Every structure is written in structure tokens, then in C-alpha cells.
Amino acid sequence: MRPLSRFFPILDWGRHYNRQFAANDFVAAVIVSIMLVPQSLAYAMLAGLPPEVGLYASILPLVAYAIFGTSATLAVGPVALISLMTALIIGALHLPAGVSPVLAAMTLAIISAAILLAMGLFRLGFIANFLSHPVISGFVSASGILIAVGQARHLLGLPKADGNLAEILAGLVSHAAEMNVLTAILGFGCLGFLFWVRSGLPAILRRLGMAGVWATFVVRAGPVLAVVITTLASWYFDLAASGVKIVGTIPQGFPAFSLPSFDPDLWRQLALPALLISVIGFVETISVAQTLAAKRRQRIRPDQELIALGMANLGAGFAGGLPVTGGFARSMVNFDAGAQTPAAGLMTAVGIAGATLFLTPVLYYLPQATLAATIIVAVLTLVDLKTIIHIWHYSRADFGAMMVTIALTLFWGIEPGIMGGVVVSLMLYLHRTSRPHIAVVGQVPGTEHFRNILRHDVATGTSVLTVRPDESLYFANCRFLEDRIYALIAENTGLKHVVLMCSAMNEIDASGLESLREINARLRDAGVTFHLSEVKGPVMDRLAPSGFVDELAGQVFLSQYDALSKLDPSALTPCRIA
């Protein structure tokens, strides 16, 4: 791959662009733009920022991603999860003098951009792998619930209430008397309509004979319809005078390019949250991008995706926006609508820019309850009960990590939730590797293959004991192995040889080597010779120069069958003729 194309994928797909692509991309862009205008306003509101910030954050990032991104159909912009995190982060800040929440959000996007670019340039993409699937799933589900419950106040016309689940619910209850009935009717009406559009309407459309593609389009346009109807109603009936909160004045046109704050105290407060947003945003982007790429047999490059995301957030930050990432819903819409290349994103950016220039006076009357209803419906699809059940059946450890993540996110917060989930996953992994399965193996008769004596019908002799630890030997488990071998020696009198079958031992660290030395010495004192078999290449590369092989009382055999052939051939049954 030419070096310039590596960092500027636009040079690749741009060279093959043609009229057919342009037509498909244009159609997709129109559909996505229509969907994104209300969604951008909604997510800005979710982030606790003025609604136009959402629009600004939807323009330049799409342009940046089109230049730097490797996915053909990923769409970047404000997403529910990152917007919620932004709200919580800024809400918890001690804002220095002269720094407004909007300025803080811009600065957060810039810091996040710097982190993402650094991660991309240093190829640190693999860090995101440490968020296990159960932890991500649990985190996203819990966040979906948190967001939905947090938006309920908009449906009822109640004041702001943030924090964890308990705090939000308490806030709702304590202010219940201030509920605005008109808002509630409007809000729950929208909610009901949007749920119906997703579940009831498609069946009706199919029976009416509508083609699948058009039916999907209508369903996706549901929020837009709700926005149009409720805005008209709000204007016609002057609902604002009756206490229904509306979006209000949105500045028309683009903001001037502004600098974020460079206040050191602010940066210090934002550093860790920005890191979390970057990692979580990256994980979400990669999940979506890989799903889309698989559908079209394309490949994405995670380290380049980091750079693209970084540039997108740079654009968001300097344009007066908030942190952005690849969004699942908007990307799926883009994909389903037939986008072929990232040019669709460029055209979408133009569409939203147009809305910002011309449509904003119209949005004046849009009720906030409508936006809240669209958010609630969107995020409740994030709650993934199916996965929770699957993981309960497959792995109690993973289920435990998932539950810890969900509980921490719901009852403590976003940051403790994700960090707690990662820590629990890692601790469970380390605990498992520190008490490894250690099998005593024997020969599967008639073959050169050796398996666990407890599970298979195998032949063993009495003078040779073969032990196969099912784990790399490292500091957390080497004493465990020592103890097991000594216990086995004590149980099996008459032993002359012990063979350590290393086929599952992928590494031996310094503490592990100490343990092997200790085992070798103790066995020798007890009159038993210690051997190794099936040592892997990379492990041998380290063992050989250490002098251990010379210390070893016995030998290192290439295969377990060789070991038995040499040490106790009478115990073997001959292998079949192939």
C-alpha cells in the first residue's frame, strides 16, 4: 500500500469513484441527513449542551472521516453513549473562570482527539481489546437504561436530574408534582408512536404490499415524522405558552472557528475522562465498522481508524461541537440506504450544513419532549438481554464480570462501571490462570497421542509419570504447579521418571524457571529424573541459553511419544500403520 494512501484512504477509493457510486451515495446521504438533524439536536441536549452544538459536531467530523477512515459506510457524529458521558463529565467539573460548558465540551473533544491520534500513531489499538465482549455489552445495556430513565424528565417537563440510577429516580419522584400534563401527553404520545413505528408498522406495511426497502425507510423516518408533527402542533397551538419546553432559538449559520480552552486545571480534570471517552468511542467505532465490513467482505484497519476518529474529534472540537464517534444507528441507516463509499458521509455533511444554514428557524418550536422520546426509543434497543442469557449459560465468570459492570454503571456511574468491568475481567482471567488445570496423561492406545487419564481410556506405566499443565508457567501459578507435582510424587511410589509435557505451556517466565529448577533439584534428591517434552520453539529459545537444560537431570524430548519410547517402551502399545 502506498504510504500516502495508508494515512489518507480517500486517495484509494477516490481514484475509483464513478457516477454509479455517486448516485447511491447521494440517496443514502439524503436519508441519513433527514434522520440526523433531529438526532443531533437530541444528543446535544442529552449532553447538556445547546442543541446547535449537535449540528456543528455532525459536519466536520463526517468530512474528516471521509478523508481518513477505512470503513466505507461508517458514519461518525454525536452518539448517545458518548453524549451521556460528556454530560456527566462536564457536570462533575469545577469549571475555571471564563469556561462555559460548551467550551469544556470542545476542549474535551480536542483532548480526546489528541489521545486518539497518539494511540493510532503508536499503534496502541490493541488496548481496546481489553474490554471484553461481556463487559462492553453490559456497559452499553446499563448505559441505555441510564439514558432512557434520565430522559424521562423531558417527557414529563421536570427539571434536570443526573447521576446514577437511584439519584435520577429520586429526582423524578421528588419533583413529580411539577409535572406538566401537556408535556407528558405529548412526550408519551411520541414515545408510543415511535415504538409502534418500530414494531407494529412494518407488519402493516408488508401486508399492504410495500417493498422491504421502502418499508425500512418509512420506519427509519419515524422520528422525522414525529418531529414534523409535534413541531407543527407546538407552533399552531403555541404549546410553549402552556409550559411545554421547546428547543428555542438556534443560531443560524456556522459558528466562527474557535479555540478550545487551554486552562491547565481544566486539562488536568479532563485528562482521565477524555481517555475513557477515547477508548470507549474507539471500541464502539470498531465494533460497528467490523460488523459493516463483514457484510461486504471488506477489511478495516484499527490503527488508521484511531487516526480518523482523532481527526474527526479535532474537527468537532474546533467547530464548537462535542466528542464524536462512529454511531451504530446512523451507520446502519447509511448502509441500509445503499451508501457505497465514504463520499456518502461528505454529502451528508453538506446536507446537515444546509439544515444549519436554513432550517434552524423552523426548529424553534420543536418540543424537547419529542427529542427525548426519540432518544429513549433509540437507546432501549441497546439493551441486549439475549447476550446476557447466552453468557450466563456459557461462562459464569464472564457473566459475573458483566453483572459487575452493569451494577457499577447503574448505581455508581459510567467511569466506575467500565473500569470495574475491565478490572473484574482481568482479575478473573488471572485467577483462572493462577490455578491451572493440570492433567496426568497417558497414551491413547495404538496412537502417538496422549490424553488425560481421567477422561480417556489410556495406557500408563508405573515408572514414568507424565504431567501436562494446561497453562503457561508464570509467577502466579508456578508454586501451584510445584505443589501438584510434589503431591503426585508422594502418591506414586516407585516412580523413576517424571515428564513435564509442555505442549500447552506457551511461556515460562523467570519465576517459572525458578520453579522448574526447584522441581528438578527436589526430584533428583528423591531419586526421580525430571524430563521435558514437546517444548515449544519460543519457549526453548529462552530456556536453552539459561543453562537450565544442562542442569536438567533428564532430557528434553521433541514429542511425548519419543519420551515414552525411550523411558518406558514396555508401557506403549504400537502405533497403527497409517
> Would you say 245 or 449 has its CB closer to its own copies?
449
Min separation Cβ 213 and its own copies, Å: 23
> Would you say 216 or 290 has its CB closer to its own copies?
290
Helices vs strands, H then E, count in the chain: 26, 8
> Would you say 328 or 474 has its CB closer to its own copies?
474
Start-end of H helices in 296-384: 302-318, 328-336, 343-354, 368-380
Q: How far apart are alpha carbons 273 and 104 in whole angstroms?
A: 12
> Would you say 127 or 380 has its CB closer to its own copies?
127
Min separation Cβ 28 and its own copies, Å: 24
Q: What are 5's three cell numbers?
A: 494512501
DSSP state of 163: S
> Would you say 145 or 388 has its CB closer to its own copies?
388
Alpha-carbon torsion, ordered 386, 387, 388, 393, to 10 deg = 100
Start-end of H helices in 57-132: 60-68, 80-91, 101-121
Min separation Cβ 506 and its own copies, Å: 4
Min separation Cβ 298 and its own copies, Å: 12
CB 322 within 8 A of CB 47: yes
Q: What are the E-state strand segments in 223-382?
A: 325-326
Min separation Cβ 286 and its own copies, Å: 9
Which residue shows C-alpha cell 441505555?
144
> Would you say 216 or 565 has its CB closer to its own copies?
565
Min separation Cβ 329 and its own copies, Å: 22
Q: How far apart are alpha carbons 152 and 148 in whole angstroms?
A: 7
Min separation Cβ 478 and its own copies, Å: 8
> Would you say 336 or 448 has its CB closer to its own copies?
448
Complete edge-to-edge strand list for the sheet that includes strand 497-501: 450-452, 438-443, 464-469, 497-501, 529-533, 556-557
Min separation Cβ 20 and its own copies, Å: 24
Q: How far apart are alpha carbons 400 and 383 in whole angstroms?
A: 17
> Would you say 198 or 536 has its CB closer to its own copies?
536
> Would you say 245 or 517 has its CB closer to its own copies?
517
Min separation Cβ 544 and its own copies, Å: 11
497-501/529-533 β-pairing? parallel
CB 362 within 8 A of CB 41: no
Min separation Cβ 387 and its own copies, Å: 9
Q: How far apart are alpha carbons 223 and 191 in whole angstroms?
A: 10
DSSP per-residue string spanning 497-559: EEEEE-TT---B-HHHHHHHHHHHHHHHHTT-EEEEES--HHHHHHHHHHTHHHH-SS-EESS
CB 499 within 8 A of CB 563: yes
Min separation Cβ 533 and its own copies, Å: 10
Which residues are CB-contacts of 74 (< 8 A; sequence separation ≥ 6)?
A: 65, 285, 288, 289, 292, 326, 331, 334
Min separation Cβ 126 and its own copies, Å: 6
> Would you say 25 or 471 has its CB closer to its own copies?
471
Min separation Cβ 446 and its own copies, Å: 9
Instruction: Let me know the angle formed at the C-alpha of 461 by 455 and 464, rounded to the nearest 5 degrees.
Output: 100
Beta bridge partners of 246: 367
Q: Under the phi-then-psi rule, with left for phi > 0, alpha for psi from -120 to 50, and beta for the rest, what region is 458?
A: beta
Min separation Cβ 295 and its own copies, Å: 10
Q: How far apart are alpha carbons 134 and 139 in whole angstroms?
A: 8
CB 492 within 8 A of CB 453: no
> Would you say 175 or 536 has its CB closer to its own copies?
536
Q: How far apart are alpha carbons 553 and 555 in whole angstroms?
A: 7
Question: CA nearest 165: which of 152, 155, 180?
Answer: 152
Residues in the chain: 578
- The two most distant CA atoms of the chain are separated, in Å, by 97
> Would you say 175 or 517 has its CB closer to its own copies?
517
- For residue 245, give the 3-state DSSP assignment: coil
> Would you say 160 or 295 has its CB closer to its own copies?
295
Q: What are 85's three cell numbers?
A: 458521558
> Would you say 122 or 394 has its CB closer to its own copies?
394
Q: What are 293's three cell numbers?
A: 465490513
At 348, which amino acid appears?
T
Q: How far apart are alpha carbons 153 and 157 in whole angstroms?
A: 6
